[in-house]
Amino acid sequence: MGDSVAEKRKLLNRGRRLRGQVDALERAIEADAGCVQVMQLLVAIRGAVNGLMAEVVRDHIELHMIDPDRIPTERETEAADELASVLHSYIK
């Protein structure tokens, strides 16, 4: 996961934004915010988690399911892309 410094930083930033969303949810609940506001925060958190999961799944496919010691065939690349797409749709 996060094989490069840039990729690791990107994932960390997404995690930090997610933490900020959870903190906002906690503050809203403590402040007796309305149900609509709490639900909106929950939907945003769910979307952020799903997006992060989709990215980690795609990274896993690219880093661990395709042999890094050889160039994948076009069919293998298409299959990996298709799997990532299906999983992304399922997660969201």
What pLDDT is stored for residue 55 in this prediction?
85
Residue 22 domain boundaries: 5-91
| Contacting residues for 83 by C-beta, under 8 A, at least 6 apart | 61
pLDDT in tens, the chain (92 residues): 556 788 889 999 999 999 999 999 999 999 999 999 999 999 999 999 988 988 888 888 878 777 778 888 888 888 888 888 888 787 76
Residue whose C-alpha is closest to residue 54's, from 6, 11, 8, 21: 11
What pLDDT is stored for residue 28 in this prediction?
98
CATH of the domain at 84: 1.20.58.1000
The total domain count for the chain is 1
Burial 57-86 (b: 16+ CB within 10 A, else e): bbbebbeeeeeeeeeeeeeeeeebeeebee
